[in-house]
């Protein structure tokens, strides 16, 4: 998409008839790392062809940090005021304060640029798409590390869950959460309800706990979780719930990215005693992920 700059602080992006003005283009959003709003914009432009297939058609909740990641941010579900008329949206009933919420649906690069201009650093997406919102496209296991839990513990649990899914003729795909944990996705075949998906996730999580009773916990209360355990969150499945999708940026030190991984990268973690999993996973970030994708492509699209 061609770019023209009218000043160091304002940049205009154009794609056909669509135009987005980026204000405060050089504003630093990650003070410890020096990454700016412009870097966020350029990142999302660079990875768009890999990111968009994962989020197209999905209602989005925006996690915005207009004053940078060191200041409080906020979630925004309802489409912002003044949204361009070419940005796709979908209006859904809500049980909250609003009777309906008008969600942004990102279908193209100009919309990604528009969202980056809002300092919407992280895009949280529904697990189902417009037109089939009652049927998730994938099941999800969110692996959260407990205190004293090294990278290799996360990897050990991921490998066991993948094995349990393999027994059930499903293929697990790993990615970093962009924080300190791992996500495992498994795309479903045919039509699944959220109730079926949730029950299935519970079944697999219980099987993993039975195999790794000293490493896996299913205790939802953080205060009650034993030290050094990996919490397998199987209950995240639910209509209207969201997840950070592949290649989304996180508002954390190092500007990490939720990065799809080959299983070889997970097996390498089995040899690591690193306790700071967030630091370990920040090796995939805004600065280097576009280059990795240009060289190697999306790990989920390759044999892993």
For residue range 138-188, list pLDDT tens digits in order. 999 999 998 889 999 999 999 999 999 999 999 999 999 999 999 999 999
Q: Model confidence over 37-76: pLDDT tens digits?
A: 999 999 999 999 999 999 999 999 999 999 999 999 999 9
pTM exceeding 0.85: yes
pLDDT at residue 302 in the model: 64
pLDDT at residue 97 in the model: 80
Q: Which superfamily is assigned to 3-126 in CATH? A: DNA primase, PRIM domain (3.90.920.10)
> What class does CATH assign to 138-287?
alpha beta
Is the model's pLDDT at 3 over the cut of 70? no
Q: Model confidence over 241-299: pLDDT tens digits?
A: 999 999 999 999 999 999 999 999 999 999 999 999 999 999 999 999 999 999 999 99
pLDDT at residue 41 in the model: 97
Report strand pairing: 216-217 vs 230-233: parallel
pLDDT at residue 8 in the model: 54
Residue spans of beta strands (DSSP E) within 78-137: 88-93, 100-105, 120-126
Closest CA to 277 of 142, 150, 147, 143: 150
Place of tokens 């690591």: 272
pLDDT at residue 304 in the model: 38
Is the model's pLDDT at 129 over the cut of 60? yes
Residue 128 corresponds to which tokens in the numbers above?
């189902």
Residue 87 corresponds to which tokens in the numbers above?
């940005």
Is the model's pLDDT at 239 over the cut of 60? yes
> According to CATH, where is 3.30.70.3300 located in the chain?
138-287
Report strand pairing: 28-30 vs 35-36: antiparallel
Is the model's pLDDT at 213 over the cut of 80? yes
pLDDT interval class at 190 (50, 70, 90): confident
Q: Model confidence over 6-31: pLDDT tens digits?
A: 335 889 999 888 999 999 999 999 99
């Amino acid at each position: 998409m061609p770019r023209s700059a009218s000043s160091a602080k304002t940049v205009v992006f154009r794609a056909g008839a669509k135009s987005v003005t980026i204000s405060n283009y050089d504003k630093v959003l990650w003070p410890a790392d020096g990454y700016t709003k412009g870097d966020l914009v350029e990142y999302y432009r660079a990875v768009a062809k890999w990111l968009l297939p994962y989020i197209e058609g999905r209602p989005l909740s925006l996690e915005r940090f207009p004053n940078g990641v060191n200041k409080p941010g906020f979630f925004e579900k309802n489409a912002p005021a003044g949204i361009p008329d070419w940005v796709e949206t979908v209006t859904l009933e809500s049980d909250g304060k609003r009777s309906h919420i008008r969600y942004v649906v990102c279908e193209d690069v100009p919309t990604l640029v528009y969202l980056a201009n809002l300092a919407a650093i992280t895009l949280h997406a529904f697990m189902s798409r417009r037109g089939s919102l009652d049927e998730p496209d994938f099941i999800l296991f969110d692996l959260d590390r407990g205190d004293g839990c090294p990278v290799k513990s996360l990897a050990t649990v991921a490998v066991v869950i993948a094995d349990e899914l393999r027994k059930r003729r499903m293929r697990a795909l790993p990615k970093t959460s962009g924080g300190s944990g791992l996500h495992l996705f498994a795309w479903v075949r045919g039509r699944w309800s959220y109730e079926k998906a949730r029950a299935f996730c519970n079944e697999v999580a219980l099987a993993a706990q039975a195999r790794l009773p000293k490493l896996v916990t299913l205790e939802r209360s953080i205060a009650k979780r034993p030290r050094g355990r990996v919490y397998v969150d199987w209950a995240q499945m639910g209509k209207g719930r969201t997840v950070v999708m592949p290649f989304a940026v996180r508002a954390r030190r190092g500007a990490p990215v939720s990065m799809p991984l080959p299983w070889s990268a997970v097996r390498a973690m089995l040899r690591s005693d690193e306790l700071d999993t967030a630091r370990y996973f920040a090796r995939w970030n805004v600065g280097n992920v576009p280059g990795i994708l240009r060289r190697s492509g999306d790990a989920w699209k390759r044999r892993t």
